[in-house]
Chains A and B, each alone.
Chain A
Amino acid sequence: MSKLTRRQLIAAGAVTVAGAGGLAVAAKIARRYGLVPPDSGGIYGPGATLTYAAQRLLTRHSMAREFSRGQISAKPLQNEVAPLGDEFRRLEKAGFADWRLSVDGLVTRPGLFSVAELKSFPRRSHITMVQCEEGWSYIAEWEGVPLSHVLGLVGTAPQATHVVYRSFQTDWWESMDMADALHPQTLLTHGMNRGELPVGFGGPLRMRVTRQLGYKSVKYITSLTVTDNIKQFGKGLGSASPESGYAWFAGI
């Protein structure tokens, strides 16, 4: 840089200061409007934050693409499932009559719901794509009760920011923000392709989050916790995914 004049140096300094100030203000605004994901720390934090903030500004209320019945995959892919154990087999043998979904946290009426109760609630179905982070995908028809309906039943507090959801497979837990939790396509799914939801696809109860990758659509859901402080769960990164190196927000 042979010909840096004093004027250029001053201009560069002013731009740097303005840039740093702008970033600080932007960070404050982003935090206030819920545009910062729980895994915003670390070296990949800037990218993850830009992605999440951009998606929440552009796509907060958008609907995932729905397909025609003719586009349903003839052979949907049953992902590998770790052995579920004797307790699961016992529940399965009893037709999941003893399966319970517990709902707690920032709600006025915490409760336990059986699968039969969940099936008696208003149903919604959609034909949507499951997209795995590995690159493969399939389309299926999913039926269940909108998560927003259950959140309404238990009386979710207005200051809630996230819903944590856990699997029978105890090392698998996830969370989503209220934009997804109250999204009409987000279902506590109990049916698939006009039948019962098979165990291989997450039966008796799977969370379907249509605008994110498959790993947010957790299988074998056993509990929900509504919270306004997502950092208090696990290692404070929002879910088990960032703890094993994957982005919390999987909408890309």
Chain B
Amino acid sequence: MAETSERHSFFVRITHWLTTLAFLALLVTGLELVVSHPRFYWGEVGNVNTEPLFKIPIPASRSLVPTGYGYTLPDQNGWSRYLHFQSAWLLVLTGLVYVGVGLWRGHFRRALFPTRSDLSSKRLMGSIGEHLRFRKPGAEEAWSYNVLQRLAYLLIIFVAFPLIIWTGLAMSPSLVSAFPWTVNILGGQQSARTLHFFLTGVLVVFLAVHVFMVILAGFWSRSRAMITGRAGAGQERV
């Protein structure tokens, strides 16, 4: 098997970086779109005449929104929308390839599902303790994910990303005309928008922790493993 000689297989590496690219583009353009109406609502509808669930205290790019600031930011919605949806396609298609190939090759079972012993309270508490003390991971973790890492990746891949894609699609007036339940069970179009924003927060927190852990474990060796596939010198398979 090719995977025994590589830390990360080619399909994991390429889908990882395509997802990174798509996610960063979605994040930047998504935040740009929020600037045009930095107010969030619950239910079907919301506008400046209705009470928001919460507001973000930033100036807006449209004069319609009463922000309390005496100026508006430059409006960048045109290209932001184009790029947001193009990146969403990249994310979704990459995700489909990742999940499809991953299932076919047993990637999730082998690399991500925790073993029964992993889930014992002793092992779990031990791993949580190591994380809380910011302990640099041992050599064995250059080749395998620890239990918290596995659970975090599974939650992001199979819960957070599907939810943010779903809430995004639930804002599409055309798509919900054919599949109204996709927005109805979320409580309405504005609820979908608000949930989409919260889920962005979840993914940003994940990204921050993920990058922090990579730095803690050794930024160059871990990044090289995800770029070239090689774990690097001094990190022979144990």
Cβ contact within 8 Å between A252 and B173:
yes
CB distance from A71 to the nearest CB of B (A): 6
| A62-B89 in contact given A134-B62, A137-B44, A246-B81 (Cβ < 8 Å) | no
Residue numbers in B under 8 Å from A65 (CB-CB): 176-177, 180, 183-184
**B158 in contact (CB, < 8 A):** no
Cβ contact within 8 Å between A48 and B44:
no
Tell me which of A135, A138, A139, A252 contacts B193 (CB under 8 A): A135
| A129-B178 in contact given A2-B230, A71-B44, A137-B44 (Cβ < 8 Å) | no
Q: Max chain A CB contacts within 10 Å: which of B87, B171, B178, B189?
A: B178
Q: Max chain B CB contacts within 10 Å: which of A58, A59, A136, A213?
A: A136
Cβ contact within 8 Å between B86 and A138:
no
Give the residues from 1 to 57 in chain B that come closer than 8 angstroms, CB to CB, to chain A: 2, 5, 10, 33-34, 36-37, 39, 44-50
**A208 in contact (CB, < 8 A):** no
Tell me which of A3, A50, A55, A139 contacts B89 (CB under 8 A): A50
Instruction: Count residues of chain A with CB under 8 A from any CB of chain B.
Output: 44
| A136-B77 in contact given A46-B86, A212-B174, A251-B174 (Cβ < 8 Å) | no
Docked CA distance A63–B173 (Å): 10
Main DSSP-derived SS at the B contact region: helix
Cβ contact within 8 Å between A134 and B79:
no
**A77 in contact (CB, < 8 A):** yes
Cβ contact within 8 Å between B85 and A51:
yes
Give the residues from 57 to 71 in chain B that come closer than 8 angstroms, CB to CB, to chain A: 62-64
Residue of B nearest to A241 (CB): B78
Cβ contact within 8 Å between B33 and A135:
yes
Cβ contact within 8 Å between A64 and B177:
yes
Give the residues from 184 to 232 in chain B that come closer than 8 angstroms, CB to CB, to chain A: 184, 189-190, 193, 228-230
List 9 tightest A-B contacts by C-beta distance, closest first.
A47-B86, A245-B78, A251-B174, A44-B82, A135-B37, A136-B47, A75-B49, A62-B178, A252-B172
Query: What would be 29 A-B contacts, judged by CB atoms less than 8 Å apart?
Result: A44-B86, A47-B82, A47-B88, A51-B85, A51-B89, A55-B174, A58-B175, A62-B177, A64-B173, A65-B176, A65-B180, A65-B184, A73-B45, A79-B64, A129-B44, A129-B45, A129-B173, A133-B36, A133-B77, A134-B77, A135-B33, A136-B37, A137-B44, A138-B45, A139-B45, A211-B173, A213-B173, A252-B173, A252-B175
